[in-house]
Structures are given as structure tokens and as C-alpha cells.
């Protein structure tokens, strides 16, 4: 197990832009979440600022359907009415959505692509960290492929089949290539290589809750 530096103690989310709207209609709201902003409020009062709260200031009916880790950036969908919320939630539960992530990982994988099938669960004494557990873990699967090989790192495309907490971060660690800037799972070298987590949700494909039409929303990778 790698020894990680402690997570940041001060929550200081970016303020500009305050809310980045990619698309909206009567049913859904597509947002570009910045790295460093919580998806939903944390328990401490100083963790009240979050994407959900910011969205609700302009879209009072907006509700969270899924989440991204605080340090992960990229595309998120929120529902704007109860019917849309149920519909989209069911799509995530039944794996009808498709998500594509971009990441930069430490080192050079031997293969150009691969499939990771390793069950995961929360490491309760060290939560919110997650661990691989073949006996008690829940199914977790990720496909990956290389985009570009760099000097000491590799840019990869990640396709999560399941949606476990920290899945991509733990899975890339499990094959010996932690994500750069990861304050929970990276080696010291990989953590110090970048000043933010190099993980971005680039695209999300779902069926629009009003008519079932398949739509893809994309937020370009900022790194």
C-alpha cells in the first residue's frame, strides 16, 4: 500500500465561473463541474458551497442524480422535475448511460488498452477511501485505452461500466498506474506531479427523459 499525503484541510472551491451551464431545457440541466467543488454539501458548515446549491440558485427545482468526486471536473446532469429525476436515476441504475473520462496516470502501461474487473468496498476505518475486496466488495468494472504516451505519464481514456465511489482512481492504482495529483491513492511522485487531480468527465450519454432520444453532452478536458 502506498503512503499518501493527507487530503487538503481547507475547502476553497473556485468561484469563477460560479456556475457553468452546458445545456438546459424543461427536464434536464447539464453542468460543467470544476475541480475542487463538491457535488453536494458536506456536513461541516464550511462545506456548504457545492454544485447542487449553486445550480438551485438559478434553477430552484434542480436535483442531484449522480456525483463526481470533489477533485474531478467535468460533465454532470441534474434533473429539473420529479419525473425526469426518476427516469435518469433509473438509467444510471440499469447502466443505460455511458460515461467517458480522460485521465493522466503515472508511468507507462505495457498494453494499449485493457479491462479491469475488481470488486470494491469502502475502507471504513479510512473512509472515504475505497479498497479492492474479493470477498465483500461489489462488482466494479472499467475499460481503458491509451490516448498518448508522455515522458513519465500516460494520457488515457476511461470507460466505467459500473459506478462505484472512487472506482477509476482505485482501478488505475490497482494496475500500478495511479492518477496524477490524487491525494488519496497516488504515490508521492504521482501526487506531486500535478497541482490537481488529473481526472475529467469528458462526456455523458443518456436517453432524454421526455422522448427517450439518445443524447451526448461533452465538456472538453482542461488539461
Do 106 and 186 form a contact (C-beta atoms < 8 A)?
yes
Domain membership flag for residue 16: no
Whether 52 is covered by a domain: the verdict is yes
User: Considering the domain boundaries, does residue 155 fall inside one?
Assistant: yes
The answer to the question of residue 12 being in a domain is no
Give the whole-angstrom CA distance, residue 174 versus residue 116. 9
Give per-10-residue mean pLDDT for the chain (223 aa).
53 97 98 98 95 98 98 98 98 97 98 98 96 98 98 98 97 98 97 98 98 98 97
Let me know: does 180 contact 193? Beta carbons within 8 Å. Answer: yes
pLDDT at 32: 98
- Say what the pLDDT of residue 113 is: 98
Domain hosting 201: range is: 21-218
Q: Is residue 13 part of a domain?
A: no
Interatomic CA distance for residues 52 and 220, integer angstroms: 21
Q: Is 9 left (phi over 0), alpha (psi -120 to 50) or beta?
A: alpha
User: What's the pLDDT score for residue 9?
Assistant: 61
| Residue 9 located in a structural domain | no
Residue 29 within a domain: yes
- Which of 69, 151, 182, 195 is catalytic? The answer is 69
Q: Is 69 a catalytic residue?
A: yes
Q: How many CA within 13 A on the CB side of residue 191?
A: 14
| Number of compact structural domains in the chain | 1
Can you give the pLDDT at residue 11?
96
Provide the CATH number for the domain around residue 128.
3.30.2350.10
Amino acid at each position: 500500500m502506498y503512503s499518501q499525503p493527507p487530503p487538503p484541510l481547507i475547502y476553497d472551491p473556485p468561484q469563477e465561473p460560479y456556475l457553468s451551464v452546458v445545456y438546459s431545457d424543461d427536464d434536464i440541466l447539464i453542468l460543467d463541474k470544476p475541480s475542487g467543488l463538491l457535488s453536494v454539501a458536506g456536513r461541516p458548515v464550511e462545506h456548504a458551497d457545492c454544485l447542487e446549491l449553486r445550480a438551485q440558485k438559478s434553477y430552484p427545482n434542480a436535483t442531484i442524480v449522480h456525483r463526481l468526486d470533489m477533485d474531478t471536473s467535468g460533465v454532470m446532469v441534474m434533473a429539473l422535475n420529479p419525473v425526469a429525476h426518476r427516469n435518469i436515476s433509473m438509467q444510471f441504475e440499469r447502466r443505460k448511460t455511458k460515461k467517458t473520462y480522460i485521465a493522466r496516470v503515472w508511468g507507462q502501461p505495457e498494453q494499449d488498452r485493457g479491462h479491469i474487473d475488481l470488486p470494491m468496498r469502502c475502507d471504513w476505518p479510512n473512509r472515504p477511501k475505497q479498497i479492492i475486496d474479493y470477498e465483500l466488495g461489489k462488482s466494479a468494472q472499467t475499460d481503458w485505452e491509451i490516448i498518448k504516451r508522455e515522458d513519465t505519464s500516460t494520457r488515457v481514456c476511461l470507460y466505467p461500466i459500473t459506478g462505484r465511489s472512487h472506482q477509476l482512481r482505485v482501478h488505475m492504482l490497482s494496475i500500478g498506474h495511479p492518477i496524477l495529483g490524487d491525494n488519496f491513492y497516488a504515490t508521492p511522485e504521482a501526487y506531486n506531479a500535478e497541482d490537481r487531480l488529473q481526472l475529467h468527465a469528458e462526456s455523458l450519454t443518456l436517453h432524454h427523459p421526455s422522448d427517450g432520444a439518445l443524447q451526448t453532452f461533452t465538456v472538453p478536458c482542461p488539461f
